[in-house]
Structure 1
Amino acid sequence: MRHKSRPQGCACGCGPGCVHARLADAIPLVSSLLSSTARDEGLVIAIADREARLHYVDGDSRARSRAESIGFTAGANWSEAQVGTNAPGRAVARGEAVSIHREEHTRPDVHPFSCSAAPLVDPVTGEVFGALDVTGGDAAADRRTLALVQATAAAVARELRLAGVPVGPPPHTSARLRLVHHGRPCIETGTATHALTDRHAELLATLALEPQGLSADEIGALIYPDGTPPATIRGELLRLRRRLDTIPGAPNLESRPYRLTGPLLIDAVQVTEHLRRGEHDEALELYRGASLTHSEAEPVVDLLRSTSGSLREAMLSDATPETLLRYLDLPEAADDVESWHMALTVLPPRAPQRAIVLTHLEQLDTRLRQAN
């Protein structure tokens, strides 16, 4: 097997110190552990970054030529948002090892291939920074190959950590306000979760969306019912300040005007950003349903409605069949007849999920007829 000491075409365009280039330091290990299998079984070996873009492709020469015919080459984007179901795309999106057999691929031209991939995970931060993939015939998706790929991916992570290479992005240090995780509103800081009252969540969302700050009167006009005394508003803001003081890593609350002293991410805003980049699976990882379903605070209502609408529109227009089915698992999609009909349109004729979709549509139709 021909060995390449560097990935072809680092997609980020950075210098030799970037994470993509440093992944090349792991290639000798990958080659030593997988080359004999690739040679004997006619397989292709690939390393993808955390966006599922291929940065290294090698292996059996005839298998590589076949893979090139479907665009499986260095520099190509194999995220599920781009090409549908495939092993490296799913491994980086879900952080799980996976085998994909021929017809399980979304694209018909990929049906001659099977593949197995495992995420490359930073053992310190837990961040997925890429994926290791083996592609070829049926042997590429058998249990032995999957186990070998998983073991090699674990060895890569250990090798890079021992070499002091910063393989993954640093842990998130910014606090995040969770509004669309189908649970009580809360602040996440690292791995810790801190519950909030609905009112405090409304105040924090409003202030995070207005980083220049707001007066008590402006906050009252946006969040509180008409006629709420200013003393009530200021009292609640004081309680919020005290609550934030108990949460390590959360921003502080200053007054005159009322504003947050540090960044506060909002998961609903992040969902929209993922959708804008075509990262549908990442959006669904964050979006599990609105927490503040009964809120009357104008900024919160507008944000949640916009996020839900953008997600639905993206699912109906651009999502892969698998991603659309994940969307249909959301509580708010349970009675969405149009979305369920769209699933029938995009699913392959022999997809086993069609039976589930048809049954659900029949149940919806029965309920509608009974209601009328």
Structure 2
Amino acid sequence: MSYAHLDAYSRLLRGAYEAAMTKQRWPVAPRRPIEASWHRSLAAGIDPGITSAPLVYDLDYIDDVRQAHPLHPLLPLLSRTLAGLADEIGHVMIVTDAHGRVLWREGGTAVLRRADQIGLSDGHQWEERNVGTNGIGTALAVGRPMHVYSEEHLMRALHVWSCSAAPIVDPDSGRVIGCVDISGTARTLHPSTVALVGTAAKLAESELALRMHERDDRLRRRYESLRGRPGILLSPTGRVISGDPAGRLGERVPLLDSHLTDDPDPPSDGILLPIRPGEHVRVSGQRMILRDGTVGLLESFSDGYLLRTVPTATPPALALSFLGERPPFVTLGDREQPLSLRHAEILALLALHQHGLTAEQLSFHVYGDYGNPVTIRAEIHRLRAQLGNAIAAKPYRLACPIEADFLAVRRHLAAKDPAALARTYSGPLLPRSESPEIRRERDELEAQVRACLLRYGSPEHLWAYAQTSNGRNDYEILERLAALPSTDARSAAARARLA
């Protein structure tokens, strides 16, 4: 991009930026990823007038974090790839952790002094939720390399800067573990720098993959020395290394929901003592329900785990009672307990999608376009506290036999059995639910029940339907009942309702 094009783009950006910050209509929107980042940043309440990223690490202890971080051994590789460029053209190279907290930087004295003024230095955090649109935070937010130029930054103090950043994904855990960034003055950092930064991130990931395979080989050799090779060999992050030739567990077994100690949220005082990013919590002794419904027990083995299947009795059935006006409740074994509407919606959706749903899919089915997978994960956590291992993860699914009144209604409809239908159908499915998927299922079920009873049902079956909330004033149902002999009490009741 030539300087003329940069000048023209800067003029466009200034107009869009001022309109966005004053909540006016944008004359011309910036690039789509920047526009989306502005929306996220403003919705998070970021003040464009802040002048520095927050300091979140106690610098007296940051060396401990650096030594423990999985990117520490790769610094020479990143330095060889990028630091020379930074020195040559007066830029600074930054390496952060997965939450945009600066752990290392390299550059000339002059540019480091300028970087200090905006918090582009050790221990400061550059996530979007802290400082708005910026190279590091936006690359981490979208999960791919990003170049953020001048007025594309949300902070006005950054308008003299440009940044190219790329996230680094750990092939072992599948998680983002850091970000590499080159930052400098707006006109000296060309947008094409983002390709070089992306290449450096890929080189780091390749080196991590090589080290991972070497660890796997060492662990596999120890495993193969065991007599009988008991159990399935897992890495510390739950990757299946050996012992599952049929692939019934997939590539990874989910361990504890938070198996890393790297907490993204600083405490209320703003400064935190460094923790050890990437350090794994040992979860030996954890029981889990596997994808095929069997129960597994984790045992520590060298640097990883052995997963052994254990015999277990058939788990108790989960019975869902979600039809009609009565508040929803669940029966697990011989224990009956009421449910909140949200928990009932989640269980109904899992019962309707027995192959499982991701957090994103569940969120969409429950809340529609405005759903947030984080909210769903929190609700699943609360449900598990009530139902134990009845809900499995990745994807979320019911891991025990299921009985549900609305599923029984479906079976009776398929069998065209009006007697069983009249006994089972006590009213609409979760009538207070506003979930788009539940509403669709509720309306479809209601229409099919009504049509089946009108076609095949006897007066007894129609009368049973007339006791439900929708059947109580159903004109066609009541007309059929009113046609019964006048001595029939059901006929009198139907005529009264029609009147």
| Category of TM-score, reference length = shorter chain | 0.3 to 0.5
Q: Which has the higher helix share?
A: 1
Q: TM-score, normalised by structure 2?
A: 0.36
Q: TM-score, normalised by structure 1?
A: 0.46
